Amino acid sequence: MTSRRRFLAGLAAASLAPTQGWAAVGAPDYLAAALFPDGSHRLVGLMADGSILFSLILPARGHAAAAHPHRPQAVAFARRPGTFAVIIDCTTGAQTAALNAPDGRHFYGHGAFSQDGTRLFTTENDYEAGEGVIGVWETAQYTRLGEFPSGGTGPHDIRLMADGKTLVIANGGIETHPDTGRTKLNLPVMQPNLTYLDLDGSMLEQAELPPGLRQNSIRHLAVRPDGLIGFATQWQGQTIEHPPLLGLHRPGDEIRLLSAPNAYQSRLQGYAGSIAFSGDGASVAITCPRGNALHQFRVEDGQLIGAFELDDVCGLGTGGDGFVYTTGTGAVGTLGATVKTSALQDCQWDNQLIPVGRPA
């Protein structure tokens, strides 16, 4: 009872005191990491128009961040195989807490909060066993509560579905060990999957790619409010093969794979960095920094409806009716009826764009 009362009080506090929330920092649309000219890696509060609300120095290059649903707090993860993540108060830029992976675990660089913001779920590697786990943390002091299996090897991205009750996890399938950095240890036997778990870690469903695409590592996720999942992949097989790098899945259904015509698909070097649904939900896009391309598909029939050449594009998020993207050359742009650069900042945007205050 006590915890329920405290929980309700917390909700009331959050709604009655909006200055405690993201509004206190100007309500950024996204969080993004970037490398600045002074050599600092920073966490940036970014608006959809490309303007920078704040930039806070990080201890090192990060991978992705996660935004607390109510408090102006961000978790910034070290790049894998990092063992730390920092909690940053975005009103002050101060580091208010740190997550240290337990012995025998490292982070993969993504995390997701529960809808009420009381729990944080992190993708981790149990590297002696070569199995993925999801770490569970409470968010008052950010202490670890426990962990459960991720349902595969190499869990990378993790998202909370719009029902607030389901976690979807991209198990990339690739075994690595911190002793050998990012060296891939199990390519002959790798088997990626998409795993759905409830918040207690019980398995709800798993989906796999067809056998010939066993080496297509599922890495990044997007969630449409109606429960459709989009995933972006990185091909570990032959460079002369150009498999689909984008998939759609709805629990209970088969995976749908989307690909551009070969002349365009073959320029992507088998690598998609990020994925998002458009604001109107009618299209889905991936960014491909090795192919300098952004590909947009219609969800309904899976047809390619836009192929854009953008230098080192990678960050991608839902924005307006369409998308917002960032590039390693400093550009922030929008894709709606057309592609438009909104701002050119003096920094190199890192590969993920994290929406604040709404599911993605």
Partner 1 sequence: MRAVLLACALMTPLPATAQNRGPILTDVVEGHILPGYARLSKATGALSSAAQGDCAATSPELRAAYHAAFDRWITVSHLRFGPSETDNRAFALAFWPDTKGFTPKALSGLIAVRDSAVETPEGFAETSVAGRGLFALEMMLYDPAFMETEDEPYQCALVQAIAVDINHNANAIDADWVLYASQITKPGGQSAFRSDSEAVQELYKALVTGLEFTANTRLGRLLGALDRPRPKRAEARRSERSLRHVELSLIALRDLAARLSADHPEIDTDLAKAFEKAIDRAQRLDDPGLAGIATPQGRLRVEALQQSINDIRSVATSDLGPTLGINAGFNALDGD
Q: List residues binding partner 1 (CB under 8 A).
A: 35, 63, 79-80, 109, 130, 156, 175, 177, 179-183, 185-189, 219, 234, 237-240, 264, 266-267, 269, 271, 273, 289-290, 292, 304-309, 311-314, 327-329, 337-338, 348-351
The residue among 21 and 109 lying less far from partner 1, judged by its C-beta, is 109
The distance of closest approach from Cβ of residue 176 to partner 1 in the complex, given in angstroms and rounded to an integer, is 10
Q: Which lies closer to partner 1 via its Cβ, residue 214 or residue 224? A: 214
Q: Which is nearer to partner 1, 83 or 91 (CB)?
A: 83
DSSP one-letter code for 101: P
Burial 150-180 (b: 16+ CB within 10 A, else e): bbbbbbbbbbbbbeeebbbbbbbbbbbeeee
Q: How far is the CB of 280 from partner 1 (least distance, A)?
A: 13
**Closest of 208, 196, 185 to residue 159, by C-alpha:** 196
Q: Check: CB of residue 287 under 8 Å from CB of residue 316.
A: yes
Instruction: State the minimum distance, in angstroms, from the CB of residue 219 to partner 1.
Output: 7
35: burial class by Cβ within 10 Å (0-12, 13-18, 19+)? middle
Minimum distance from CB of 79 to partner 1 (Å)?
7
Q: Helix H segments across 61-178?
A: none
- Compute the least distance from the CB of residue 287 to partner 1, in Å: 8
Q: What's the token pair of residue 92?
A: 């002050």
Residue with smaller CB distance to partner 1, 256 or 267? 267
**The residue to which tokens 């009750």 are assigned:** 165
CB of 289 to partner 1, least distance (A): 4
At 102, list the tokens: 């337990």
Shorter beta-carbon distance to partner 1: residue 166 or 327:
327
For the bound state, the minimum distance from the C-beta of residue 216 to partner 1, rounded and expressed in Å, comes to 15
Q: Which of 350, 220, 351, 246 is nearest to 307 (CA)?
A: 246
The distance of closest approach from Cβ of residue 308 to partner 1 in the complex, given in angstroms and rounded to an integer, is 5
Query: 198 or 241, CB closer to partner 1?
Result: 241
Nearest distance from C-beta of residue 5 to partner 1, angstroms = 42
Residue nearer to partner 1 on the CB measure, 115 or 186: 186
DSSP 207-257: E---GGGTTEEEEEEEE-TTS-EEEEEEE-S-TT-----EEEE-TTS--EE
Beta bridge pairs of residue 229: 223, 249
Q: 25 vs 133, which CB is nearer to partner 1?
A: 133
3-state helix, strand, coil in the chain (%, to 5): 10, 50, 40
Listing from the earlier edge strand, what are the strands of the sheet with 95-100?
62-67, 73-78, 84-89, 95-100
Distance (Å, whole) CA 264 – CA 304: 10
Name which of 73 and 278 has its Cβ closer to partner 1.
278
Choose among 331, 289, 304: nearest CA to 34.
331
**For residue 262, what is the DSSP state?**
H
